[in-house]
């Protein structure tokens, strides 16, 4: 078989001028000229290539590169994923303040538009960069990789990547994080884990947010924990409120424990 | 609509393969999409025609094969298809299970037309 075109003929020569400069009497229009015998029956042959290749292999490769880059520097990266408005940014605001004197933190935050989140997170002692994805509903490894050297300054040990608010799409795109953290606010209903198993089956950690609102809602916490266990046995759960501060201590100690 | 990015990634890869193999056209591409891959098959099916405009893949037939999630039970060795419950084996109710299928997002086969 011909390595250049895989066409299954043994007898033809390709004329790549750089390889062998012999003359051919005719040229084809395509870049790959094909001086097979000059039959004019131009039969169509179908070849099925068994590719079995990951569609996002390009993104996955870049994500692996990001992870290796972070590992070299001893940085732990988490990818925060939730529906829009579940409280990712407010939780990060509190978290940066609380970790300020303890651990070097950095944030990459993604939104379709505006740098509102980056501005909310600025001035809390951590480098922050915004990615505006415009039309995309998720972050991808390439753009994150470009920002790593800017945001991961020498004393950073913990990188938060706040993904675009979306419960589905970001799950498919590895960014090079060490693991995903799913957020679920109590206003969204306790059955989110079974409705969106893709995220909740992948994230080893889930944060149930806005618990200060529980008295106003019918949210069934026991049910929610049960659903989570069904989708992901052993999933590590936090229940907290960034407004009242309830449950925040345990979250902070957990994060502090991530950086050895 | 991240299915548009997925469609773009697929088309880019298939076009590369077509160029590598110096084929003029691609008659058929088979994709596998797991139920836990976070992909909406309908949206993907709608996104593909938008992306192939002005490429050699205009007439390509796209086959999207959904792959159901499957868990394997270490206690009884059975495989079962979970609906809402990924935590227990459908046969023996053991909780010693792990997800073995459903995360696929693959280009399975590409059928090239070689005009000779
Ligand atoms: N009551 C209450 N409100 C909260 C809490 N956390 C966040 N919020 C409010 O919920 C709204 C959305 O919070 P954000 O932190 O912007 O949510 P987000 O997940 O970053 O949103 P996107 O980036 O747009 O996806 C804001 O009005 C917050 O003040 C909480 O613990 N309790
Ligand atoms: Mg936000
Ligand atoms: Zn079993």
* From A56, A194, A202, residue closest to B9, measured CB to CB: A56
Its ipTM equals 0.87
Select the residue from A3, A39, A49 to test the B interface by mutation, using most B Cβ atoms within 10 A.
A49
Residue A201 to residue A218: CA distance in whole angstroms: 25
Taking the Cβ of residue A11 and every Cβ of chain B, the question of whether any pair is shorter than 8 Å is answered with no
Longest Cα–Cα distance in chain A: 85
Instruction: With CA atoms as reference, report the closest residue to B102 among B54, B20, B37, B43.
Output: B37
> Which pLDDT does position A44 carry in this prediction?
76
Alpha carbon of A193 to ligand 2 centroid (Å): 20
What is the distance in A from the centroid of ligand 2 to the CA of A55? 28
Residue A247 in contact with ligand 1 by CB distance below 6 A: no
CB contact under 8 A, B115 and A199: no
Which of A202, A260, A197 minimizes the C-alpha distance to A234? A202
What integer pLDDT is reported at residue B116 of this predicted model? Answer: 62
All residue ranges of chain B with pLDDT < 70 are: 1, 116
Query: What's the average model confidence in pLDDT over A208-212?
Result: 98
Chain A: closest CA distance from residue B25 (Å): 10
Phi and psi torsions of A108, nearest 5°: -115, 125
Q: Contact A53/B106, CB-based, under 8 Å?
A: yes
> Could you give the number of structural domains in chain B?
1
Beta strand residue intervals within chain B, DSSP E: 25-34, 61-67, 70-73, 79-80, 97-101, 105-115
Q: What is the pLDDT of residue B96?
A: 85
**Confidence class of residue A19 from pLDDT cuts 50, 70 and 90?**
very low
pLDDT at position B86 is: 82
Model confidence over A52-73: pLDDT tens digits?
A: 999 999 999 999 999 999 999 9
B64 interfacial to chain A (CB closer than 8 Å): no
Domains plus CATH for chain A? 54-257 (3.40.50.300)
Closest-approach residue (CA) in chain A for B8: A55
CATH number at residue B73: 3.30.2320.80
Nearest alpha-carbon partner for B107 in B1, B36, B12, B2: B12
What local confidence, expressed as pLDDT, does residue A134 receive? 86
> Could you give the CA distance from residue A104 to residue A157 in angstroms, rounded to a whole number?
5
User: Is B42 or A12 the better-scoring residue by pLDDT?
Assistant: B42
pLDDT confidence band for A41 (50 / 70 / 90)? low
Q: Is the Cβ–Cβ distance between A176 and A95 less than 8 Å?
A: no
Mean pLDDT over A149-154 rounds to: 97
Q: Please answer whether residues A78 and A160 qualify as being in contact, where contact means their C-beta atoms are separated by less than 8 angstroms.
A: yes
Mean pLDDT in residue range A209-235: 95
What is the structure's pLDDT at A12?
38
Note down the domain range covering B68. Answer: 3-113
State residue B83's pLDDT score: 77
The pLDDT of residue A42: 56
B56 reaches A (C-beta below 8 A): no
- Classify the C-alpha dihedral A129-A196-A205-B4 as positive or negative: negative
What are the C-alpha distances in Å from A84 to residues A40, B33, B60, B102?
61, 25, 36, 26
- For residue A9, the model assigns a pLDDT of 34
Residue with tokens 């039969």: A43
Q: Which candidate, A228, A242, A231, A236, places its Cα nearest to that of A257? A: A236
State the pLDDT at residue B2. 81
Please, which residues 137-156 of chain A have a Cβ atom closer than 8 Å to chain B? 137-138, 140
A89 C-alpha to center of ligand 1: Å?
7
Q: pLDDT tens digits, residue range A102-135?
A: 999 999 999 999 999 999 999 999 999 999 998 7
Residue A254, Cβ neighbours under 10 Å: how many? 13
DSSP string, chain A: --TTT----SS-----TTT-----S---SSSS-------S---EEEEEEEEEEETTHHHHHHHHHHHHHHHHTT-EEEEEE-STTSSHHHHHHHHHHHHTTTS-EEEEEEESS-SHHHHHHTTSSS-EEEEE-TT-SS--HHHHHHHHHHH--TT--EEEEE--S-SSGGGG---S-SEEEEEEEGGG-TTHHHH-HHHHHH-SEEEEE-GGGGGGS---HHHHHHHHHHHSTT-EEEE--TTT-TTHHHHHHHHHHH--
């Amino acid at each position: 078989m011909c390595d250049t075109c895989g066409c299954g003929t043994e007898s033809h020569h390709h004329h790549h001028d750089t390889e062998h400069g012999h003359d051919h009497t005719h040229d084809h229009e395509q870049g790959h000229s094909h001086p097979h015998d000059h039959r004019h029956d131009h039969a169509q042959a179908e070849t099925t290539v068994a590719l079995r290749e990951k569609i996002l292999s390009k993104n996955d490769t870049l994500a692996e590169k990001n992870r290796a880059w972070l590992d070299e520097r001893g940085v732990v990266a988490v990818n925060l994923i939730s529906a829009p408005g579940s409280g990712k940014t407010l939780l990060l605001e509190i978290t940066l303040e609380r970790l300020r004197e303890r651990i070097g933190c950095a944030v990459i935050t993604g939104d379709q538009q505006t740098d509102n989140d980056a501005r909310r997170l600025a001035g809390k002692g951590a480098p922050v960069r915004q990615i505006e994805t415009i039309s995309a509903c998720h972050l991808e490894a390439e753009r994150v990789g470009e920002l790593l050297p800017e945001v991961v300054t020498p004393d950073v040990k913990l990188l938060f990547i706040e993904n675009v608010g979306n419960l589905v799409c970001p799950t498919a795109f590895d960014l090079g994080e060490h693991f995903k953290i799913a957020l679920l606010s109590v206003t969204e209903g306790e059955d989110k884990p079974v409705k969106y198993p893709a995220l909740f089956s992948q994230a080893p950690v889930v944060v149930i947010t806005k618990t200060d609102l529980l008295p106003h809602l019918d949210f069934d916490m026991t049910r929610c924990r049960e659903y989570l266990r069904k989708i992901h046995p052993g999933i590590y759960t936090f229940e907290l409120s960034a407004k009242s501060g309830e449950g925040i201590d345990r979250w902070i100690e957990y994060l502090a424990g991530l950086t050895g | 609509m991240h299915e548009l990015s997925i469609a773009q990634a697929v088309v880019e890869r298939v076009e590369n393969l077509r160029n590598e193999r110096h084929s003029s056209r691609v008659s058929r591409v088979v994709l596998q999409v797991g139920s836990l891959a976070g992909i909406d098959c309908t949206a993907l099916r709608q996104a593909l025609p938008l992306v192939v405009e002005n490429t050699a893949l205009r007439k390509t037939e796209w086959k999207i094969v959904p792959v159901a999630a499957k868990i394997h039970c270490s206690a009884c060795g059975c495989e079962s298809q979970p609906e809402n419950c990924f935590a227990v084996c459908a046969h023996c109710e053991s909780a010693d299970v792990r997800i073995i299928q459903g995360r696929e997002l693959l280009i399975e086969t590409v059928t090239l037309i070689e005009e000779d």
